[in-house]
A and B are shown apart, each in its own frame.
Chain A
């Protein structure tokens, strides 16, 4: 059993608190990713779980036992660092075997485990090489292998892919996901890259300023962000935030943005919207919810025409990112590569409000969830 509980966990450096009373339950064999901007406390949290940082307050429970004062080596965890932290004077084999040797594991067991890990990670041909000769991706595999041979209950990975180029990062993402399924262990992974978080995690923990903002599955985070920070952090290009005013039109409510009505989604709880009539809120619309033509599968009640001046077009191959302006408000929309829009011209679009998000302007929290 390798479930982990963080109960009111905090970390302070003198008067400075970098992690504020975090509560988090991580299930056995779960792949959970801590994501957030630099300095949000995700690595500190991971290092507290690893035992590399002293816990200032709260409880850390691994497998039912409180381990606040248990040394790192006795926590049945293995950590993979951002800079790999391989011993440069040792071969790959010796790097991988070192932890087991310190634990006085029998030689044949070390041999078997190192070769098994090397086979899984496809680095058998590197075993007798020194890290100096290896590329970043190969070093990363070795670092993973070194963690694997210990057969820990929990893997902690601190931005393991951030030193790799984009192509290799994509490959390694898939490799780590497969590895998690194969090893059947708990993975806690820290990254500032939301694509890594979205593609790999069972659940994502979004952190900001030392606090957990939201914990949920990747799709739920995307579809139902609990506040403006999560809404803006998850998704690329990020969600457009439109300052609007809620008004009632007959039976329905609309958000009035820059003089145009955006119908609020019909499926949401109207009672949540009612208190905001006449008040300023922030409407969140993702770039892919803008279309050149009305999609056939969307209820017309949830669509509105939308005209904006094109500032910039960024062709991405499979799509175009248009930077557009409505009044003073800059937005980013995602359209098909067939869409032709000259810079400075007015683009006629349709906005789908089905997945529109509404946020309280004061608290920045979602009105809908």
Chain B
């Protein structure tokens, strides 16, 4: 049993205080390696919380909240914090989830419709492209809005406005994250049945981590913007309590 004890008690290399923080994909990989087991547990929590379907938006918000703590390198008590976030964001997440679900669904429907009829009329490629871009942009806004929602308590309009600004400022990281999520599910489909446990193990939590990681900097930037340029903001938005 000595080897087992040594495995637990062996000294590590240490963590230098002033070492430059990793960025980009290196930071993504480092965080993933550090929080890997937490993400597996988070994934299971998400699946359990989303079983009732109507609870999916709140489960997504709770998962985003935990992923945010991972990205910000903060301590979490997984079950406790997940449950708290689930109840805290339940109504907000459900409302925003329904709204964006409907909007993106409508956008998707428009894309499919225009794609079908564009085969007969080439000029309909323009509304098809517009519908596609708008739908994707709505997805990007939804991602930023989700991250902003779990970062600060903001009034709905402010939240939407900041999410839109963030989406204009830095859309590419979130687009890359969305492709990463699509890749995860594509891998699950292509490698089936070898990949049968992917969704149960990490697809949801890892996907959400990628989204939060990619949207985090833009969200921080818009939250740090001075109130003056955001003329429509209510006073309390600028003094939003950090949660």
Contact = CB atoms under 8 A, between A and B. Distances in A.
- A is bound by B: yes
A126 B75 CA distance: 10
Contacts of B12: 131-135
Contacts of B34: 129
A135 B9 contact: no
Interface residues of B, number: 14
B8 interface: yes
A51 to B, nearest CB: 24
A214 interface: no
A134 B14 contact: yes
Interface in B51-87: 73-75, 77
Interface in A136-186: 136-139
B15 interface: yes
A135 B17 contact: no
Interface stretch (A86-94, A228-236, A240-248, A345-353): A86-94
Contacts of B8: 88, 132
Given A129-B15, A135-B14, A94 B9 contact: no
B13 interface: yes
Interface string B9-36: 1111111010000000000000000100
A83 interface: yes
B75 A91 contact: yes
B9 A88 contact: yes
Given A122-B17, A125-B17, A134 B73 contact: no
Contact of B9 (A83, A125, A129): A83
Contacts of A125: 15, 17
A128 B73 contact: yes
Contact of A139 (B11, B13, B73, B75): B11
Interface residues of A, number: 20
Nearest to B16: A125
Contacts of B74: 128
A208 B132 CA distance: 84
A136 B11 contact: yes
A94 B38 CA distance: 14
A127 interface: yes
Nearest to A83: B9
A2 B66 CA distance: 42
A93 B11 contact: no
B1 to A, nearest CB: 15
Nearest to A123: B17
A138 B15 CA distance: 8
Interface string A288-311: 000000000000000000000000
Nearest to A88: B8
Nearest to A130: B34
A127 B75 contact: yes
B14 to A, nearest CB: 3
Contacts of B75: 91, 93-94, 127-128
A48 to B, nearest CB: 26
Nearest to B21: A125
Interface string B70-110: 00011101000000000000000000000000000000000
Interface in B192-240: none
Contacts of A134: 11-12, 14-15
A319 to B, nearest CB: 33
Given A93-B75, A128-B74, A133 B13 contact: yes
B17 A133 contact: no
14 contacts: A88-B8, A88-B9, A122-B17, A128-B73, A128-B75, A129-B15, A132-B10, A133-B13, A133-B15, A134-B11, A134-B15, A135-B13, A138-B14, A138-B15
Interface of B: 8-15, 17, 34, 73-75, 77
Which are the 9 A-B pairs with shortest beta-carbon distances? A135-B14, A93-B75, A133-B12, A88-B8, A136-B11, A128-B73, A128-B75, A134-B12, A132-B12
Given A94-B75, A125-B17, A133-B15, 19 more contacts: A91-B75, A93-B75, A94-B77, A122-B17, A126-B15, A127-B75, A129-B15, A129-B34, A132-B12, A133-B12, A133-B13, A134-B11, A134-B14, A134-B15, A135-B12, A135-B14, A136-B11, A138-B14, A138-B15
